[in-house]
Structure 1
Amino acid sequence: MRLDKFLGTTLGITRREAGKLLRDKMIEVNGSVVKSASMQITDDCDVEFNGRSLALTGPQYYMLNKPEGFVCSHVDDHNPTVFVLLDIVSPEKLHVAGRLDGDTTGLVLLTDDGQWSHRITSPRRVCEKTYYVEVADPLDESAIELFANGVELRGEKDLTRPAKLEIVGEREAFITITEGKYHQVKRMFAAIGNKVEALHRDRIGAVELDEDLEPGEYRKLTPEEVASFNK
């Protein structure tokens, strides 16, 4: 494959843009600066752009521990996006499979595989998501049954799907839902007269957030984790 085509594929740029990178001496092949767009790239070539190794890869899948204050979009006029946390080539090719609000922390899945993310976010799929929640007022055991039966959200006609609530403290609980309605967990607690003070996602499907993954850190999903959403 020609070097300019290789750069276009791996970086998502045009051949003209690739040519400029070469003229600006920003591309190295096997440790040497290369300016020839027609150079043939083979499997044993090590191509680098700004010190980052480039490779033709298949779909990408990551987990990220989202910090508070970051948004799950590519562009935002007021807040940093989760994509600035990724030290990878062409993060703009990725999208979030199941967004979190800016003030919600925890597990975010990122991919460039649209069909895979659809299996996570589609309303027709039953994909469990577990959150740790802190609320303003003490929790009553009656909330467990209310959530299990479904609650009516403001502005909605249908009840939510059954949700599992596990109370672990006076104002702390884990809640597992199988939907992805707008601000759903916050609205569910509002429906029973309480207010969410903090929200953190721990799990999506069979994928759990690594305990040692600090806020802002990420890693690639294992093949087993990726395959768990294909069942």
Structure 2
Amino acid sequence: MRLDKYLSQATGLSRKDIKRLLHKDLASVNGVVTRDASLKISDDDNVVFQDSDIAAPRPRYFMMNKPYGYVCSSDDPTNATVMGLLIDEPRPNDLHLAGRLDLDTTGLLLITDDGQWSHKLTSPKHKQGKRYLLETADPIPESAVEQFAQGVQLLNEKHLTKPAELEILGVDEALLTLTEGRYHQVKRMFAAIGNKVIKLHRDRISHIVLDESLAPGEYRELTEEEIHISK
């Protein structure tokens, strides 16, 4: 990693500011003062900046309890955004969502700056399950369990949905686990069997379960165990 990027990620300063400070001889690598912003830095290098040892920047991983009415975007002219809830984090623009939720859907969001990690969670080929608690307008027939397990034909789609696990909890309540993420998929699957989802909440992605202690809009860092994704 370039020195300017390394220091920017570790300190929260812009790369422009880092380059300006480098020319004031405020950085050294392995005991040698340097002004070279493009100098390649490894995890074994000892970096000192402004008289402080600088630890290697590490990827960030958060879970958030998404509130109702928030859009999964960094900028929206009409609605509040979930990324706006991260304004106290350094370099919020470096963070992205590992899977989005609709405006009227609540629950588990995963946020990171590790692109490979989020790809493992969101790519259908990795078959990481996403579980939703839902409520429907009409009773859910027992036949829906087998229909969803076999795959459902969505409107304007060429292929059936991948097998999904439906667990009926009550007359109009269920848990649905998907391994893909088509546009408005949960709502469209129920529409395909003549029903309507009126409430939707995601509580799990892969092995990561939403922390019940998080109020809507709150977030926390993931634990090492939560970060680990089985291949």
- TM-score normalised to the size of structure 1? 0.80
Q: Which runs of 5+ in 1 are unaligned?
A: 21-37, 44-54
Residue 39, structure 1, aligned to residue 50, structure 2: yes
* Conserved 8 A contact 1:152-1:160: yes
* Conserved 8 A contact 2:8-2:18: no
* Structure 1 residue 74: Cα displacement: 1.0
Aligned to 1:89: 90
Aligned to 1:145: 146
* Conserved 8 A contact 2:167-2:174: yes
Aligned to 2:177: 176
Q: Matched residue of 2:126: which SS?
A: coil
The Cα offsets for residues 55-108 of structure 1, whole Å up to 9 and x where unpaired, read as: 753000000000011111111111111112123212211000011111110000
Name the CA shift for 1:178/1:160 in 2 (closer, same or farther; >3 Å).
Answer: same
Which residue identity does 1:179 align to in structure 2? E
The Cα offsets for residues 107-142 of structure 1, whole Å up to 9 and x where unpaired, read as: 000000000101011121101000000111111111
* Conserved 8 A contact 1:8-1:18: no
Aligned to 1:220: 221
* Structure 1 residue 7: Cα displacement: 5.3
Name the CA shift for 1:133/1:80 in 2 (closer, same or farther; >3 Å).
Answer: same
Aligned to 1:58: 58
Aligned to 2:31: none
Aligned length: 201
The 5 Å alignment of 1:80-229 reads: 80-86=80-86, 87-227=88-228, 229=229
Cα RMSD for the two superposed structures: 2.4
> 2: distance between equivalents of 1:7 and 1:178?
36
Name the CA shift for 1:77/1:110 in 2 (closer, same or farther; >3 Å).
Answer: same
> 1: distance between equivalents of 2:212 and 2:182?
27
Q: Matched residue of 2:169: which SS?
A: strand
The Cα offsets for residues 199-225 of structure 1, whole Å up to 9 and x where unpaired, read as: 000100000001111111111111111
* Conserved 8 A contact 1:8-1:15: no
* Conserved 8 A contact 2:10-2:57: no
Aligned to 2:77: 77
> 2: distance between equivalents of 1:18 and 1:7?
10
